[in-house]
Amino acid sequence: MSNIYRYLMEDTSAVVKVRSESLERIKHCLEAQRVAANSGFPCPAPLADAEALDAAAVVSAEEWRPGGEILRGHDGGSARRSAVLLAELMTLLVRHPGQALDPPPPWVHWNPPGGGLWPPNGPVDSMDQTLVPEFIRECARRTGARLGRSTLPRVVGHGDWEAQNIRWKDGRPWSVYDWDSLVSLPEAAIVGAASGAFASAEVPSLAPIESSRIFVASYESARERTFTGDEMEIAWAASMWPTLHNARGEYLFRSAPVASLAVIDQGEERLNLAKA
């Protein structure tokens, strides 16, 4: 009998997740999630290993962990709290193998194999790409080129560190979700992407530049290490990619230009900081 169905029959409070992902990738995500949960990190504990329903769907189950509130805002205090929590997680996962986590989710997937600007995404790629303006594509090219020059070692971390994926209770972290978005990337890139996206809730946004600075500095302090000059540049470059990914989607789906305006307002300064 499937372990997942056994847990359901025992009336265990569980979340059953079904998605079209690589079985190998999901298994490795669950292994890292289990390491975090067993170490006391605030997150749902996996209840069973992933199983393939068919060639296109993978199912798994994790602890049902309701409650808590989203920490809204992009001020310095929110940046510090989010960064310290990420540092705690990265400390737990730093030795976890991450080779099987490729490819990363598209919002942190720069320089995909094959040389394209954006990672492959059939339904999106079939849309009219001329709707995406040249300034978005040019920012993406510069960002990808700078990230592509990195020779930093890869580590495992959370690739979707947004406010909507974290709950807080009584001022303390209660639960971190979306463990399918684990990635194997340079530490500075993981932190940089989070420094730009940490305030995103219902609508993805880009934090102010000063808040991103506070995020990275708070992370460094919590990890008791200082990024090198190269790592800081990679962090600034990576802070742009989720917003560029979202901006592309805004033009293709004709949605409100939240990310696009952020690129206009902050893009050049962030790319200069990245030396891109």
Least confident range from 6-10, 25-29, 169-173, 196-200: namely: 6-10
Task: Determine the pLDDT at residue 235.
Answer: 98
Looking at the domain assignment, is residue 70 inside a domain? no
**Single pTM value for the model:** 0.94
Does 80 lie in the same domain as 38? no
Task: Determine the pLDDT at residue 10.
Answer: 55
Task: Determine the pLDDT at residue 15.
Answer: 87
Looking at the domain assignment, is residue 221 inside a domain? yes
Indicate which CATH number applies to the domain containing 81.
3.90.1200.10
Question: What is the 8-class DSSP label of residue 44?
Answer: P
CB 44 within 8 A of CB 174: no
Model confidence over 60-71: pLDDT tens digits?
Answer: 999 999 999 999
Q: How confident is the model at residue 228 (pLDDT cuts 50, 70, 90)?
A: very high
Give, in order, the Cα–Cα distances in Å from 270 to each of 19, 203, 207, 240, 266: 34, 21, 12, 7, 6
Looking at the domain assignment, is residue 68 inside a domain? no
Q: What is the mean pLDDT of residues 87-111?
A: 89
Does 13 lie in the same domain as 99? no
Query: Regarding beta strands 154-158 and 57-63, do their DSSP bridges make them parallel or antiparallel, or are they unpaired?
Result: unpaired
Distance CA 68, CA 166 (A): 9
The closest alpha carbon to 105, from 174, 154, 178, belongs to: 178
- What is the domain extent for residue 162? 76-273
Distance CA 125, CA 243 (A): 18
Domain count of the chain? Answer: 2
CB 198 within 8 A of CB 78: yes
Model confidence over 49-61: pLDDT tens digits?
Answer: 899 988 789 999 9
Does 51 lie in the same domain as 170? no
